Amino acid sequence: MIWTAFLLGFLGSFHCVGMCGPIALAVGSRGNRAYFFHKMLYNLGRSVTYALLGLIVGSIGFSLSLAGVQQGFSIAMGVIILIFALMYKRADQFLAIPALSGVVIWVKRQLSRFLKAGGSFAFFGTGLANGLLPCGMVYMALVAALGLQSPLMGATYMFFFGIGTIPLLLTLMYSGSLISIPIRQKFQKAIPYLGALIGILFIFRGLGLGLFYSPELVVYDYGKEQVEITVCR
């Protein structure tokens, strides 16, 4: 499943480069010997924020799994991911809702403060703040991390999602120009297919067929309580 996180991050970077591109270009000063180091600090900061968000949603998913709803929950997450995949182009309209405007304003203030400060910590802080910007692709990845129902797996999934966005952003940082819209559109065409694949994997996982990636669910009866345990063979 981790490989899907990297691919989702890579393809998602073509969708989100319009929002994050100008910020990425503003990090560091070209010609400085620490230029590459500063760029990596920025990207690492974003990945750390994604990992922390993955840890939170993974913990929520784990709590739900303890309630004995892991299979139904996995299927539900798969359906939601399928919907996200089919409607990802409308994500920006959803993110424009007033409830998120306060978050965006606060994040932009932090970004401005860090960029003006300069220095290694400021570049890392820029990445940390940038990771909080509302983004439909990030939300799709978070739904997948939630469906993993594990704090560690959720954090790992989101960290690799962040790592997947680095190749394009590093290319952007060194080229000094945004990727052309036609090229971005070609890569974006693969996003719904990958999202659909991830959604199908979660649905398949929740069916408990006893096959590969669809572990059987065994119910143990302990007196008045029944405990559902997913058994991987």
Cβ–Cβ under 8 Å, residues 115 and 127:
no
pLDDT for residue 56: 96
pLDDT for residue 228: 47
pLDDT for residue 92: 58
Q: In which residue ranges of the chain is pLDDT below 70?
A: 18-19, 28-33, 67-69, 88-100, 175-181, 208-233
Sign of CA dihedral 131, 134, 138, 143: positive
pLDDT for residue 155: 96
Domain layout of the chain by residue ranges: 2-207
pLDDT for residue 29: 62
pLDDT for residue 161: 95
pLDDT for residue 164: 93
3-state secondary structure 179-199: CCHHHHHHHHCCHHHHHHHHH
How far apart CA 71 and CA 203 sit, in angstroms, is 9
State pLDDT tens for residues 1-58. 787 899 888 988 887 776 677 777 777 665 566 778 888 899 999 999 999 999 999 9
How far apart CA 198 and CA 141 sit, in angstroms, is 10
